[in-house]
Structure 1
C-alpha cells in the first residue's frame, strides 16, 4: 500500500484532508482522519484475508451461477486493484493506539467502548469510507444484495466464535454500541447473526471531523445562547462541572432561565443544545428523537437546555422521565412546579431571575445594532420603552429584529412606536381564543374624567412601568407568594369610561388590551369555572398586555355563609380567583357597575380602586363636542350647552346618541340639526327605559315624536 489518496478519487474526495477542511470540519481533522484511516487498515487486511480464504475454500469456483453475485475475476480485480484504492499506511508520527486526542479515541472513552466494540464499529464503517467493501461484504455474505457486514461476519472478522455469549452481548440492543445509536442493526426479522450492521451517517461524519448537527433534530433545536449580564451562572456552572446531571430552573414570566442555563453550560466547558419541548411533543417519534439528541450531545460534548417544562409535564410524563435519565447534563427550564416522579435522581432546584430593565435595554440595543447595522437613534430609549414588558432574552432579541424590520418598511427611521410594536409581536396567540384583543387607538387627551380619577390612572400606569424596580430591585412586596403584577378596580356606571381608560393605559404602555367578560366564564358545573379562569391566566402569562375583566361582580361578589351547595361552590370560585389574582404577574383591571357587591378581602388585594362618576355639566359639554367630532356637518340651531345642562348622560350614551344623529343626517343628506339630535336622545332614552320629562327637554319637547 501507498500513501496516495485513499479512495483514488483525487482532490475533492470526501476522504481528502484538504477538501475536508474546506467543507468546515473541526480543527485538527487532518490528524484525526489519518488516525481513523490507519485503524481501517487492519480491517482491510482482515477482509482481504477472509476473501482469499473464501476463494481457496470454495468447492465450486466454476459454478455457472456464481455471476449472480460476484465473479472470481471481479474478486481478483478488487484484490489486485491499484493501490490508490486502498487505505493509506499509517504515517510515521501516528501513535499505534491513535493517541488520546483523536475522535475515535474520544468516542471510545465517552461511550465506554471496549476494544472489541471499536473493531466492530470499524468493520461496519469501512463501506462508507471505500465502496469496494460493499462488494467484498456481498461476496463474504454470499449474497450480492447484502452489502453490509452481518453480525456473524463481523464476529468472524474479529476472530470470534458466533456462539461466544460475551461477543454476542456486545451487539445486543442494550449494549453501548446500539443503545447509544453508534451502530444500527437492520433486518431485525432475520436471525441474529444474519442482521446487517450499519453506522449512522452522523456518526461517520463525526469521526471524519464534521460537526454539522444531525438533520433529524432540525425542527426540535432552539437557538438558546448565553447572555451576559443576566443572573449569575457561576453556582450552576460549578455544580455541572463537578458531574451533576440534572437541574431545574423555575422562572416567572419574562424569566432568563434558558439564557442562564446556556451560560452555566458554557462556563462549565460544555456546548449547548437547546431543545424546544413543545416541538418535541409534536414529533411523531419523540423517544427516537430524544435518543438522537442525546447521541448528538455526547458526540459534541454538550449539555441540554430543555424548555418549557409545562409543555410536556402533564401529558408526557414518560417522555420527561426519558429525558431526565440521560447520561448528559440536562437543565430543565419552566414555570411548573417540579414533580419528584419525573426523575430517579432529585434535580438541583434553582430560580431564574427576570431580565432587569438595564439588561433588557442593553440586550435590545445590541440585537438591534446587529439587525439594523447601527445603533438606535438618540431619541429612542429601549430601556424606558420596554419597562412595562416582561420579555425573555430570546423575546428581547426578536423584538429588536421586528422593530428593525418595521422601521425599514416605514422608511428606515426608528420610532418609539416601532419598539413597542416589535415587543407586542412576541406575544403568544393563545389568549386571543379566550379574550377579545383591542389594539389601542386612544390617548390621554381623549379622556374626559374628574382630575382625581385622571391622576389615579396616571399612578396606575406608573406602577406598571416601574414595578421591576419597586417590587424587584427594592423588594417592596416580600413573601406571601405574590407576583409582581399590578391590579386595579374600575367602578362606575355603564358608559362612564372604564373600558376606554383601560385602552388609554394600554396605549400609553405600548401594550394590547384583552377584554374578558367574566359572565361568560361562569359555568354551572362544579369546577369548570375555575378551569376556565386558569386557562385565561395561563395564556395571559405568555402575553404582555392589559387584561380587563368586565362584569367583575359576577364572580367577585361577597362571600356568604354556606346555606346550601350553591353558596359553598360560589365561595370556592371567589377564593380561587383571589389567590390567582395575587400570583398574577401582569396588569389586570377589573370593571364593575356594582362596587358595593365586591368582597372586602378582594378589595384589599387591589393596588388601586378608581371610581368613575357620571360626568358633570362641563364634562358633558366636552363629551358632546368630541363625540360629534370635527367632520360631521352641524346645523346652525345646535345647542350643545342645553344638551349638557339638561340631559344627565354618561359618555357612552352621548357617543351612542352622536352616532344615531349622524345616521339620521346621512339619511336626509343634510347636517345634524337640533331636531335630529333630540330624536337620537329620544331613542337612547327608550333603550335605557327612562321617562322623557318635560323639564329635561324644555323648549325642544315639541321635537319629541309621539
Structure 2
C-alpha cells in the first residue's frame, strides 16, 4: 500500500470511532434490536421512538482534526480551499470506496439496507452537526467548494436534501490513495505533449507574475508561430504548478462535454495544476468559464482571435503569446535532439525559416529522430525538414493541392538574372526572422512578416517548376491553389474563400502558389455598374490581405499587364521568365531527355534548339512524347521520334509544321 493510502486509512480509523459511537447510540434507543427484518419496514414502536427522540448529532472523534499537513488530503484541502468540515464530509462519503465495511455501517444507520452510502443528513450528524444547521448544509450545495470542484457528487436531486446520497468520484479516491494517473475519460481531450522545461519568454514571464498575484483568468492571443499552450505551461512551471492542456476544439465536438469540463476542473484541483485550454477560435467557451468560476485554479484560454466580452462577465487579463526568437528556437532544437544529429548538421540553421512553436519543435525533433532510426543513421537536414513539415495542419490541403517537391536548382535551365531573382526570394524566406524580427525592418501598420513574389512569363517558361525548386531548397511543401475552390459567382464568397486559404496557410510551413493569378488579382476598373463596384471591393480586399499575410506566397501569371499595379508595391520580388534562346533550348533538350533515356546517335540537339522556338514546358512535353514513341517501338529514342513529338506539340499549339523549320526531317512531321 502506498504512503498516501496508509495515511488515508488512519483518518478512516477516526471516522470508524464515530461510527461505533453512532451504532451504540442507535442500539440504546432501538425498541426492537433483534428484528430480523430491520431496515425493510418501520414498526409502530420504531415510529414512536422517532417521535419521542430528537435527531441529535452523533458524538465521538474530533471533526476538526485535519491530520498530517503534508498528507495528500491536507494538500488537497489547502489547494481546493476546503474547510475542516469539508474534509470530514469528504471522508464520510469516500469511506465505502476504501473500506467495504462502511457500506454495512451506513445501511444500518440509514435504517435501509439498500442505501449503503452516506446521505447528506447522516454525513452531517457524523460530523457533529444537526440536520437543520445552515452552516453544515451550505457545505453541500452546488456552489460549495467540495461540489463545485467535482470532488464530491450529491446524487438523487429529486429526493429531499437530507436523504440525497453523497458519492466521491473514483478519480478523487484514487488520488487520495496515491494514484497520479489522469482520469481515463479525459484521454481524448488532454494534450499529450511534454509540457515541462519550456523556454521562458517575456510573455510567459508576464503571465507568471500575474498567476503569482492571484490572477485566475487569462486570455492569450496567439501570434503566428506562437503557442499559447507553451506560454501558459512555462508560466505555471515558474509558479511551481503543473499544467493541464485541454483541446477545446476536440472538447466542443463531444456530447459529454459538460461532464468532461467538470472532470477537468477536478483533475486540476487534485494535481494542483493550472489549465490551458484552446484554441477557442470559432467557439463560445462560456461553459468552460462558468465551470471554473469560483474555483481556485488558474485558467488560461488561448486563440488567434481577440477576447469577446460576451463570453464572461468576469474580465480576464489579456496578453499576447509571441513566437520564439531565432536564438530560443535554436536552443529548443538542441535540447530536443540531445546530440542525435550528424556532426556537420546545424539543426537551428537548417530549420531557421520554419515557423514553429516550442511544442512543434519537440514533435518535429521526435519525428526526425524516428525517420533517422528507420534508416539506421543519425539525424541529417532531410530528416529535420521532414519532421518540421510533419507539423503542418491538414486544413490547407482541403483548399489547395499539396505537392511534395522533387526537383532542385540543378534541374532549372534559366538565364542568370532569373536565377538570381529566384535565389533572392528564397533568401528572403530563409532570413526573414533576422531582418523583419530582430532588425525590425517592417514595423507597425499591422503588416505581416510574409514574403511574396510574382513570376510572370509565357506558358511553359518554368514558373511553376521554379516555385517547386524554391520549396525544395527551403525544405517546404508546395501548395497550389485551385481557382475552382476560390472564385465564386456570388458576391463576397470569393473573399471568404481566399480568407480561409490565407488563414490556413499562415499556420503552415509551405509555399503557397497562386497559378493564373491574374484571374483573382486583376486590375480595378472604373465603376460603371454594381458588378464593377463589387469586383473592385474584391481587389481591394486582396491588397489588404496580402499585406497582413505571414507566409510565403508566389503569384504566377501569363499576363502581367492584367495585374493591378497596386500589387507590385506589395510584392517583394518580381521575376520575369523569358522565352529561352537557342543556347538555353539546347540545354533544355539535354536536360529533358536526360542521361537515363537510351538515345540513338542520330538525335541532333543543335538542330532541335536552332529550328524550334519552344518554351521549356513544351520541350519537356515533346521529350516525354518521344520517349513513349520509342518505348512502344522497343528502340532507343531517335530523331524520328523527337521530330514526331515536336510536330504533335506544334499541333497542340495551333502552329503549322513548315518545311523551313523541319528541313530534312519534314517526313517525320507528317506522322
Same-fold status (TM-score > 0.5) = yes
1:274 aligns with 2:207: no
In 2, the alpha carbon distance for the partners of 1:664 and 1:271 equals 68
Aligned residue runs from structure 1 range 393-472, under 5 A:
393-472=358-437
Q: In structure 2, list runs of 5 or more residues that go unmatched.
A: 42-60
Give the ranges of 4+ consecutive aligned residues of structure 1 lying more than 6 Å apart after TM superposition.
Answer: none
Among 363, 367, 379, the alignment partner of 2:336 is: 367
In 1, the alpha carbon distance for the partners of 2:93 and 2:410 equals 77
In 2, the alpha carbon distance for the partners of 1:199 and 1:39 equals 16
Structure 1 residues 501-554: Cα deviation after superposition (integer angstroms, max 9, x where no partner): 011111111111111133541001122111211221222122211111111000
Instruction: Name the SS of the counterpart of 2:335 in structure 1.
Output: helix
Aligned residue runs from structure 1 range 617-632, under 5 A:
617-632=582-597
Q: What corresponds to 2:464 in structure 1?
A: 499
Among 637, 645, 666, the alignment partner of 1:680 is: 645
In 2, the alpha carbon distance for the partners of 1:325 and 1:583 equals 36
Moved more, 671-680 or 455-464: 671-680
In 1, the alpha carbon distance for the partners of 2:39 and 2:214 equals 58
Q: What corresponds to 1:20 in structure 2?
A: 2
Aligned residue runs from structure 1 range 72-83, under 5 A:
none
Instruction: Name the SS of the counterpart of 2:2 in structure 1.
Output: helix
Among 83, 95, 105, the alignment partner of 1:136 is: 105
Q: What corresponds to 1:55 in structure 2?
A: 27
Q: What corresponds to 2:488 in structure 1?
A: 523
TM-score by length of 1: 0.86
In 2, the alpha carbon distance for the partners of 1:281 and 1:201 equals 24
Instruction: Name the SS of the counterpart of 1:315 in structure 2.
Output: coil
Among 290, 315, 319, the alignment partner of 2:261 is: 290
Structure 1 residues 589-633: Cα deviation after superposition (integer angstroms, max 9, x where no partner): 110010001111111100001001111000011111111222323
In 2, the alpha carbon distance for the partners of 1:398 and 1:699 equals 62
Count of matched residue pairs: 650
Asked if the contact 2:142/2:148 (under 8 Å) is kept, the reply is: yes
Aligned residue runs from structure 1 range 234-633, under 5 A:
234-310=205-281, 314-322=282-290, 325=293, 327=295, 328-369=297-338, 374-518=339-483, 520-633=485-598
In 2, the alpha carbon distance for the partners of 1:518 and 1:96 equals 73
In 1, the alpha carbon distance for the partners of 2:10 and 2:599 equals 96
Kindly state the Cα deviation for residue 242 of structure 1 after the two structures are TM-superposed. Answer: 1.0
Distance 1:339 1:289, change over 3 A: same
Structure 1 residues 462-487: Cα deviation after superposition (integer angstroms, max 9, x where no partner): 11111100100000111121111110
Distance 1:641 1:376, change over 3 A: same
Moved more, 47-56 or 391-400: 47-56
Among 167, 170, 184, the alignment partner of 1:215 is: 184
Distance 1:326 1:571, change over 3 A: farther
Kindly state the Cα deviation for residue 358 of structure 1 after the two structures are TM-superposed. Answer: 2.6
In 1, the alpha carbon distance for the partners of 2:425 and 2:626 equals 36
Instruction: Name the SS of the counterpart of 2:225 in structure 1.
Output: coil
In 2, the alpha carbon distance for the partners of 1:320 and 1:233 equals 22
- CA-based RMSD: 2.6
In 2, the alpha carbon distance for the partners of 1:135 and 1:693 equals 106
Q: What corresponds to 2:634 in structure 1?
A: 669
Asked if the contact 2:200/2:234 (under 8 Å) is kept, the reply is: no
Q: In structure 1, list runs of 5 or more residues that go unmatched.
A: 1-18, 70-88
